[in-house]
Chains A and B, each alone.
Chain A
């Protein structure tokens, strides 16, 4: 191995090396460095190390699709007219010519049919929004399931949840802007949701719409929110999210040479910058391909919004599908009291559930660290199997989400699978409660089984596929020890802490409410860690090693001295 020494300083002098010769690039760099201090800032960050794993690139999809959203969004603002003024359409699309519609819808039609590349930009913008929110969710699942949300990253988790909320609101306002029949139906539904709030509902609705629905101010208001307010907040939070990422440094998987105190990976320049930059073009290309190949929100067929019309298959975009699903399956519960109607059938699925679930999501890191009592810093990730209860909680939430989501498409499921929409609804009413419980139990046991499998690999080795017949005629499969690096990776995890016992808590002298709280916490921790498999002790591993060596000797002697002359060596 030869080392390239051409760029190493040739002296031990006390003055720092400077660029030699009057090269233009060097001169510009020096000029900028002296004024902006770029050199100092770059020296540290240009070689910043990022670990390499496919699951660390999911958040990047969100970032890049957001960039696509900004680019295509700017293009759309150049032609979109956010006004509800009624005009007569006179554009290129024949079947709507002469029809009265809002300027917003007419300009959407113009972008689609009269602006060069407009339809592609509209479709890319819409597809990018779908991908943006989907990638945020996938990224969030990765962070949760690997334990990357643990100290010191809890606040970044909360910021991520806020980004998801803002992304969804941004999506909803964007969905509403074209003022087509679907979006108008969505806005009407939102109006209904506001009015379902007890006492203040109609005031809130009149405040938002500037009078009775639909009025003529909702589109311009949504426009301001969609292109200014929420994107500004999103940008600020994304910046905070990424600054914290740089400050905390990226988490990494356990492995030889990887500790809580280092990051093993590739430097920002040139490797990671090239990878991330290349990924931007892949994300852009994928979204451009979707925009070019697949129709999304074909407003010319859906037609302009008119409160007297509605279409079958009126659905929100996918990320609003799950509250819509809950709304579709909830029984018609209403209470009439003191002249007020409380519409539980609207309040529970729309006004209660989504905020509740969001708050639960944001609280998850804090709930877990309270139960486990784990306040240490973590930079090494946990495999999902090594936190069975945590993994099972998320899978249960995912199951609830997935079932509610599917219920939001109950009409499409009914016609495509030839089912009765009523039966789907009855099934879902039970499934949203039972499904998560089943998913929790199966996932938890599955994780524990995988832990046992890991333990088996450490103590008994891997299955070689070599079958050995004993002198008695019995058959057994040979196991061989796994490589040391793999064994290191499998054992590079902490043992679960032992929860406090009731006696220990009582002995500590706390009383009253604090005593009850601590007992509850100990009980929860017991359930949280129950049945987990701890990694083998050093003694157990040594014993396993001796056993494996012994077996290997035995096998070799059997082969060399055995009665079977046609041993494996001859073949």
Chain B
């Protein structure tokens, strides 16, 4: 038993201790890799040390990244918003350019430039391990927080909404839980930052649980028409309602009881 214990301890130490050293070393390597990627793909707008670039007119060409933290990079690069394809009102969500490893390297490099929130751990946004009742309670609370803080821009079902000057609050359904958490934490583009003092982590988790619940739920009531509210309903009322009925009216008026061919021929 003693031998076994010793062997196990020794074996575990042998397995874990160098790994610890590896982590430190790989972190440094990650930052180095990240810097190389950053110089190629990001520095043109954000500056070689992430200090930001100003235009001649004094406005911002690419904002400084010195205190945005790893979470912001993971969100912007992980959802394809960065690198931007072209300047515009807003960076749209698009196909992701960097691999997961490259994104991690970029995040590590930007995090090394200053302060800022780290990439959140999975337990912060996952409901794994919670009982059904706890999840149910979380979803209900999350729905209320969502309606109070998010729907004004993102719409009651997270379908998105318009912002001034070509900006928009994007659709937030079918987005990774991690990215939603990071968006709340870092406030990308025109979005407010919902710091942990504003919406505590357990409330952020509740909002995410509610959005996931919406994704899982059936529509209950038929086609949702984009979940955009009364505008799309009005279009259906005119096209599928009154439009269809006018078609029927034309059909009815074109056919009368006395227009059957056989009868006409018999009468002739």
Interface residues of A (CB under 8 A from B): 1, 52-58, 60-61, 94-99, 112-113, 119, 123, 127, 130-131, 134-135, 138, 181-182, 266, 270-271, 274-275, 278-279, 282-283, 286-287, 290, 292-298, 300-303, 306, 308-318, 321, 408-412, 414-415, 418-423
Contact = CB atoms under 8 A, between A and B. Distances in A.
Contact of A182 (B148, B153, B230, B248): B230
A45 to B, nearest CB: 19
B252 A134 contact: no
A312 B234 contact: no
18 contacts: A61-B245, A95-B139, A98-B140, A131-B237, A279-B248, A282-B245, A286-B244, A292-B222, A298-B221, A301-B157, A303-B147, A303-B156, A312-B153, A312-B155, A312-B160, A411-B161, A420-B164, A421-B163
Contacts of A321: 230-231, 234
Contact of B256 (A55, A271, A286): A271
B192 interface: no
Contact of B221 (A97, A123, A138, A317): A123
A56 B246 CA distance: 11
Nearest to B245: A61
B221 A295 contact: yes
Contact of A57 (B153, B159, B252): B252
Contacts of B9: none
Given A97-B140, A301-B156, A414-B162, A317 B236 contact: no
A54 B245 CA distance: 11
A310 B151 contact: yes
A57 to B, nearest CB: 4
B169 to A, nearest CB: 7
B89 to A, nearest CB: 7
Given A119-B220, A303-B147, A310-B151, A419 B166 contact: yes
Interface of B: 89, 136-137, 139-140, 143-144, 147-148, 151-157, 159-166, 168-169, 210, 213-214, 217, 219-225, 227-234, 236-238, 240-242, 244-246, 248-250, 252-254, 256-258, 267
A318 B230 contact: yes
B152 A311 contact: yes
B225 A295 contact: yes
A279 B258 CA distance: 18
Nearest to B146: A303
A55 B244 CA distance: 14
B223 A294 contact: yes
B252 A313 contact: no
A52 B232 CA distance: 34
Nearest to A266: B256
Given A275-B252, A303-B143, A312-B154, A290 B241 contact: yes
B156 to A, nearest CB: 4
A231 to B, nearest CB: 20
B166 A420 contact: yes
Contact of A52 (B210, B229, B253): B253
B164 A138 contact: no
B256 A315 contact: no
Contacts of A418: 166
A307 to B, nearest CB: 11
B155 A313 contact: yes
B148 A300 contact: no
B240 A294 contact: yes
Contacts of A279: 248-249, 252
A309 B160 contact: no
Contacts of A302: 156
A311 B151 contact: yes
A134 B249 contact: no
B245 A131 contact: yes
Q: Is the interface of A mostly helix, strand, loop or mixed?
A: helix
Contacts of B228: 313, 412
Contacts of B214: 301
A96 B252 contact: no
A121 to B, nearest CB: 12
A130 B254 CA distance: 26
A480 to B, nearest CB: 26
B148 A131 contact: no
Contacts of B162: 312, 410-412, 414-415, 421
A63 to B, nearest CB: 12
Contacts of A134: 237-238, 241-242
A95 B143 contact: yes
B237 A414 contact: no
B84 to A, nearest CB: 16
Contact of B161 (A97, A131, A415): A415
A226 to B, nearest CB: 18
B152 A317 contact: no
A418 B89 CA distance: 10
Given A286-B244, A317-B233, A420-B166, A274 B221 contact: no
Contacts of B257: 266, 270-271, 274
Contacts of A306: 147-148
B249 A61 contact: yes
Contacts of B223: 293-295
B63 to A, nearest CB: 22
A306 B148 CA distance: 9
Given A318-B234, A412-B231, A123 B222 contact: yes
Contacts of A309: 147-148, 151-152
Contacts of B246: 54, 58, 61, 138
B156 A318 contact: no
Contacts of B165: 420-422
B230 to A, nearest CB: 4
Given A312-B160, A412-B228, 15 more contacts: A52-B253, A94-B140, A97-B136, A134-B238, A279-B252, A286-B241, A295-B225, A298-B157, A301-B227, A309-B152, A310-B151, A312-B162, A318-B230, A420-B164, A422-B164
B140 A420 contact: no
Contacts of B230: 182, 297, 313, 315-318, 321
Given A54-B254, A283-B245, A301-B156, A318 B238 contact: yes
Contacts of B147: 181, 303, 306, 309, 311
A177 to B, nearest CB: 15
A286 B221 CA distance: 16
Contact of A131 (B143, B153, B242): B242
A315 B228 CA distance: 10
Nearest to B155: A312
A318 B168 contact: no
Q: Which 5 A-B pairs have the closest CB atoms?
A: A312-B161, A318-B234, A130-B237, A420-B166, A295-B221
A297 B240 CA distance: 17
